[in-house]
Amino acid sequence: MKTWIKILGVLLLFYAHIAGLLMEVPRLNIVNETIRATYFHVPMWFGMVFLFLMSLYYSILYLRKPSLELDIKAESFAHAGLAFGILGILTGMIWANYTWGSPWHGDPKQNGAAIATLVYLAYFVLRGSIDNMEQKARLSAVYNIFAFAAMIPLIFIIPRLTDSLHPGNGGNPGFNMYDLDSRMRLVLYPAIMGWFIIGYWMVSLRIKLSKQLDILLDLEDEKLK
């Protein structure tokens, strides 16, 4: 990544965090001041989906034309996406604690997010349980496709088909109502863009680290020979 893009990502997040805490927000029933979680929780989910989608993309490319680099990219994007998913759950729990009275209510959205996280954790368990690099990459790529296919309904479809306390269901206004407020768009959109950039930066660093580790392992193998 170019240096100016990294700086832009940092500045966007700095602005989003400061403005998200200090700027005036609309007063809506039920959510009230907790509407500010939109600036932190929602961008995490956008970032997670973006990173998992990129991981899916590289897994599909790997199955079409296998290469170590594509496998590394698929794993790196999945790793960063999982980190964003965990942060999304944590920020959602903070919001729930102030809005619902406790961090975890067993809400369909919360349960779906937890299951989706476990599904992607299993992706890394699978990778760690196979020694053969080619077999590991192939099975991981196939599993990654099913993991993404499972995540979408767990987070975005099933919660809307059931009675949920989460905004958008069960009498709570949805976050799409907030997006119509020009004041919130000025913070929400930069926050989403900032997390996209930071997420991609994390992935680029992990890819470089993975390649360096592979080079070191190859050198060790040559020394042993």
Residue 62: other Cβ atoms inside 10 A: 23
| 26 three-class SS | coil
The alpha-helical segments, DSSP class H, found in 65-130 are 68-99, 108-128
- Give the pLDDT score at 165: 66
pLDDT digits (tens, 9 = 90+) for 29-54: 666 777 888 889 889 999 999 999 99
Residue among 159, 191, 210, 167 at smallest CA distance from 84: 191
Global pTM reads 0.86
pLDDT digits (tens, 9 = 90+) for 50-101: 999 999 999 999 999 999 899 999 999 999 999 999 999 999 888 888 877 8
CA 120 to CA 21: how far, in whole Å? 32
Residue 26: pLDDT over 60: yes
**What token pair was written down for 31?**
């959510």
Phi/psi for 44 (5° steps) reads: -60, -45
- Give the pLDDT score at 217: 56
- Give the pLDDT score at 171: 45
**What is the distance in angstroms between the CA of the first residue and the CA of the last residue of the chain?**
37
